[in-house]
């Protein structure tokens, strides 16, 4: 019944491939953020993406 859903039908359009790639990257970053905020990932080993972006912005804008 559902086996026809997974039949190879040829190459996907470049736009679809791009959309799937972007969606996968966004999903990985979102799961990383959720895991970091939930305390599943220790921030000493892998800080949340938002903290990484804040630290990057601080390093780029502060003049030492």
Residue 11 has pLDDT above 90, yes or no: no
Torsion angle of alpha carbons 58, 60, 61, 64, nearest 10°?
90
pLDDT digits (tens, 9 = 90+) for 27-51: 999 999 999 999 999 999 999 999 9
Where do the structural domains in the chain lie, given as residue ranges? 13-61
Please name the residues in contact with 47: beta carbons below 8 A apart, sequence gap of 6 or more. 36, 55
Between 6 and 50, the higher pLDDT residue: 50
């Amino acid at each position: 019944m559902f086996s026809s859903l997974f039949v190879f039908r040829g190459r996907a359009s470049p736009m679809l491939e791009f959309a799937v790639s972007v969606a996968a990257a966004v999903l990985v970053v979102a799961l990383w953020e959720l895991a970091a905020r939930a305390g599943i990932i220790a921030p000493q080993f892998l800080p949340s993406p938002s903290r990484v972006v804040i630290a990057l912005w601080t390093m780029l804008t502060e003049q030492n």
